[in-house]
Amino acid sequence: MIVAIDGPAASGKSTVARALARRLGYRYLDTGAMYRALAEEALTSGVPLDDVEALALLAHDAHIAFEYEGDDPVYSRVTVHGRDVTRAIRTPAVDAAVSAVARIPEVRAAMVAEQRRCAEGFDVVVEGRDIGTVVFPDAEVKVYLTASPEERASRRLRDREGAGYREEFEKVVADIVARDEADSTRDASPLKPAKDALTLDTTGLTVEQVVDRLARIVSERVA
Ligand code: DC
């Protein structure tokens, strides 16, 4: 069973996908973390963000891995060539760099192949931008989560403060709108709902309400 969860930045995908994976006991696959890990590796190793060839090579060779603890279906660590980048991929510097990396077709081809490999043999909840459209077009359940830019900015600020970063609300709203624009107008796999996806606006809904609804949809598909 593949549950594909797509949607724009800070739409609640991660929180919902993690909680849903734990509720169902399905493995959680965070494809955004893979693009983030690659962007972090580019920044760390000094690869310029406009050097398409070098980034494609980096994507091809980067060994990005998720580590799981015990029977928790949600990963505890992300590594690149064995280097722990779990925290480093959530910084404003990586936020700013990741769209440049994710719009390169060769990078996407390498990541998509890796994502399909990671899901092989598992029931999975897969979160991203192009899961229902490109990575798993035959996924049994496809959901497209959205929320207003202001609600998404509030959520992002709460996450960032938890991690020790402070940012201006208006700047975060502007960043989110800019990233939506970059992600949905790029040529390679732009962000858009799959034709057969259920679109769910989570503005004003609790995580629990969204997860309940999705768990019901999955159990109807399994039955
Ligand atoms: O979901 P996120 O914020 O962690 O995603 C980080 C970036 O990666 C975001 O700018 C969009 C990109 N991304 C993508 O292009 N395709 C995916 N399947 C997942 C993320």
What's the CATH code of the domain at 86? 3.40.50.300
CA of 128 to the centre of ligand 1 (A): 6
Nearest atom, ligand 1, residue 13 CA: 1
Q: Is the pLDDT of residue 161 over 80?
A: no
Entry pTM: 0.90
Where is average pLDDT lowest: 16-20, 32-36, 168-172?
Answer: 168-172
Nearest atom, ligand 1, residue 102 CA: 15
| pLDDT value, residue 67 | 96
Where is average pLDDT lowest: 27-41, 138-152, 160-174?
Answer: 160-174
State the angle between helix axes of 52-61 and 105-119 in degrees (0 to 180), rounded to the nearest 10. 10
What's the mean per-residue pLDDT of the chain? 93
Residue 8's domain comprises 2-222
Grade residue 191 by pLDDT with cuts at 50, 70 and 90.
confident
CA of 70 to the centre of ligand 1 (A): 27
What is the percent of the chain with per-residue pLDDT over 90, rounded to a whole number? 80
Among protein residues, the one with the nearest Cα to ligand 1's atom 5 is 32
CA of 52 to the centre of ligand 1 (A): 18
| pLDDT value, residue 68 | 94
Q: Each residue of 21-60: pLDDT tens digit?
A: 999 999 999 999 999 999 999 999 999 999 999 999 999 9
Considering its fold, how many domains does the chain have in total? 1
Q: Is the pLDDT of residue 17 over 80?
A: yes
- Mean pLDDT across 114-125: 95
Among protein residues, the one with the nearest Cα to ligand 1's atom 14 is 129
CA of 219 to the centre of ligand 1 (A): 27
Nearest atom, ligand 1, residue 6 CA: 18
Grade residue 182 by pLDDT with cuts at 50, 70 and 90.
confident
Q: Report whether residue 98 contacts ligand 1, using a CB cutoff of 6 Å.
A: yes
Nearest atom, ligand 1, residue 9 CA: 3
Among protein residues, the one with the nearest Cα to ligand 1's atom 13 is 32
Identify the top-confidence range among 51-55, 90-94, 168-172, 177-181. Answer: 51-55
Q: Report whether residue 41 contacts ligand 1, using a CB cutoff of 6 Å.
A: no
